[in-house]
Structure 1
Amino acid sequence: MNGATRLIGTMAATGALAMTGGVALACGPGSGGSYTCTGGLVPSGTYSNLKITGQCAVADGAKITVRGSVWVAANAAFDAQSAPATITVGGNVTAGKGSLLGLGCQPTSLVGNSAHPCETNPEGHSTILVKGSVTAIKAMAVLVNGIAVRGDVTALGGGSPQIPWSIKNNTVGRNIVVAGQNTEWIGVMFNKVGRNVLLYDIALSDPDPGAPGVFIVQNKIQRNLVCYRLTPGVSGGFVPGAVNTVGGVALGQCSSLV
């Protein structure tokens, strides 16, 4: 399941991301200092830190360097998954309650699977590196696709009855932890993970009978895969014989997915 098109349609319909040409003026040019985007497009440039307090996105081909960290405030949105961009973050990316965090997009032709195509340029792809960790606490939606994270990817709580979450095609140096969501759909797929993948207390509301649970598909995990209290269950995807590869053990509901 690809969440990009559904995300853009849903957010546009609800008004949470009103990304018209005019709103780009809400963000000024990068100057190398700390920068706050209150709405519109984050301009290319180098920043000491980046704070997102409104509905913000990136332009196709944007080049953004943040020497420190990126913080997405409660109920704000940072959409860096609809347009291909080059983004380097020296510290952490943190998203607050009710926020939307979208990082990365790529075509099927690049990764050889269902991918997460860029809305503005379906054959383009992002190049995103986070040298620290990515953390979302009670976010409305998390879409992290085709990026490199040297630390952990952690999503605790939150969710939306309309927006599917995806953690897909990433290279993660340490752990992926997803827990406590009540949301439409979640997929943890095609990731390369240096330590563990832990998923627990997730309840999905997707009525599609073709999506029977949390999708945990063809990840390559150096240590352990642990899954508990995932409702209505788990799925290894639709490719017969496709499994997750773990260097340690697979426990709980994921024991059958290796």
Structure 2
Amino acid sequence: MRSGWRSLGAVLVASALLWGAAPATAATAATGDYTCTEGTVPSGTYSTLTIAGMCGVDAGAEIHVTRSLMVLEGAIFDAQSAPAVITVDRNVISATGSMIGLGCQPGFPGNSGHPCATDPEGSSDISVAGNITVNGAIGVFLNGVAVGGNVTVTGGGSDIPWSIKNNTIDRNLTVNGIVEEWIGVMWNRIGGNVTLSDIRMTGLDDAAGTGLNDVFVVRNEIGRNLTCSGLVPGVFGYGNMIARNATGDCAALAG
């Protein structure tokens, strides 16, 4: 088994303990702007939701953001450890040094899923009408999210495995300029292009016994092109359905 899967499980368990131990920032939620600095975001409808500290969600929470969700520099938003319903009518923006986790769901044969740490059989329902834009994050976990626009992840990285799995992205997915232990782009449905560039892996590949992990690109449905460049040490992929062309480092994934 590759090191990324084991490490990712540890991250999920640790984050679940973290959110369970932290106090909630408010007992009830009122309509309007809301800023979380610690604990869990209460169920409610908010104009904007700002994450300014270490924040999560409770199992069964129902959160509606009529404008945008923002994760500030150095903040953490863990909506991947407990199943919740989150609807964002505009965009999700995550800043430098942040960590963002959206969505969890159980695995099934042929798909590892991303189990909720608090309820391995539970599933989130998370949708973003606009774009998800992440710049310079230390952690990105997007799992089973419905995105009406683009997903763009630029810069950052850490020794925590990243996952972009089981999402439906109506437009484009772009991942550029990260240095990361492991990243998997897997089981997504993407209406436009997928562009992966300047991604350097640092984690060791336990299955191979030597060398570094490749970038994983597995069983995605891509409505247009898959373009890859500067993937170090390389790319591992199979089962992708690409409507147009696969080029660069990912040329072998065509067909």
TM-score by length of 1: 0.91
Distance in 2 (alpha carbons) for counterparts of 1:116 and 1:145: 7
Match of 1:142 among 140, 143, 167: 140
State the Cα RMSD in Å: 1.7
Distance in 1 (alpha carbons) for counterparts of 2:225 and 2:27: 45
Residues 1:19 and 2:19 aligned together: yes
Following TM superposition, by how much is the alpha carbon of 1:130 offset from its aligned partner in structure 2, in angstroms?
0.2
Q: Which residue of 2 aligns with 1:231?
A: 232
Distance in 2 (alpha carbons) for counterparts of 1:198 and 1:224: 8
Following TM superposition, by how much is the alpha carbon of 1:11 offset from its aligned partner in structure 2, in angstroms?
5.9
Following TM superposition, by how much is the alpha carbon of 1:253 offset from its aligned partner in structure 2, in angstroms?
1.0
Give the letter for the 2:174 counterpart: V
Following TM superposition, by how much is the alpha carbon of 1:254 offset from its aligned partner in structure 2, in angstroms?
0.7
Following TM superposition, by how much is the alpha carbon of 1:112 offset from its aligned partner in structure 2, in angstroms?
5.0
Distance in 2 (alpha carbons) for counterparts of 1:164 and 1:128: 21
Q: Which range is displaced more, 211-220 or 71-80?
A: 211-220
Q: Which residue of 1 aligns with 2:246?
A: 250
Q: Which residue of 2 aligns with 1:200?
A: 197
Distance in 2 (alpha carbons) for counterparts of 1:252 and 1:191: 20
Measured against aligned partners, the alpha-carbon deviations of 1:194-240 in whole angstroms (never above 9, x if no partner) come to 1000000001111124373000001000100001000111001xxxx
Matched ranges for 1:161-176 at <5 A: 161=159, 163-176=160-173
Distance in 2 (alpha carbons) for counterparts of 1:39 and 1:243: 41
TM-score by length of 2: 0.92
Assess, with a 3 A threshold, how the Cα gap between structure 1 residues 250 and 116 changes in structure 2: closer, same or farther: same
Give the letter for the 1:180 counterpart: G
**Percent same amino acid among aligned pairs?**
50
Q: Which residue of 2 aligns with 1:89?
A: 88
Give the letter for the 1:117 counterpart: P
Q: Which residue of 2 aligns with 1:126?
A: 124
The SS at the match of 1:19 is helix
Q: Which residue of 2 aligns with 1:64?
A: 63
Give the letter for the 1:193 counterpart: I
Distance in 2 (alpha carbons) for counterparts of 1:20 and 1:89: 24
Q: Which residue of 1 aligns with 2:50?
A: 51
The SS at the match of 1:5 is helix
Q: Which residue of 1 aligns with 2:12?
A: 8
How many pairs were matched up?
A: 246
1:82–1:119 Cα contact (<8 Å) kept: yes
For structure 1, the residue ranges without an aligned partner over 5 or more in a row are 237-241
Distance in 1 (alpha carbons) for counterparts of 2:89 and 2:166: 21
Distance in 2 (alpha carbons) for counterparts of 1:24 and 1:125: 24
Give the letter for the 2:130 counterpart: G
Following TM superposition, by how much is the alpha carbon of 1:26 offset from its aligned partner in structure 2, in angstroms?
2.5
Distance in 2 (alpha carbons) for counterparts of 1:182 and 1:147: 24
Assess, with a 3 A threshold, how the Cα gap between structure 1 residues 117 and 11 changes in structure 2: closer, same or farther: closer
Q: Which residue of 1 aligns with 2:215?
A: 214
For structure 2, the residue ranges without an aligned partner over 5 or more in a row are none
1:97–1:158 Cα contact (<8 Å) kept: yes
Measured against aligned partners, the alpha-carbon deviations of 1:73-120 in whole angstroms (never above 9, x if no partner) come to 0110000001110000001000000100000000013x8511101100
2:197–2:231 Cα contact (<8 Å) kept: yes
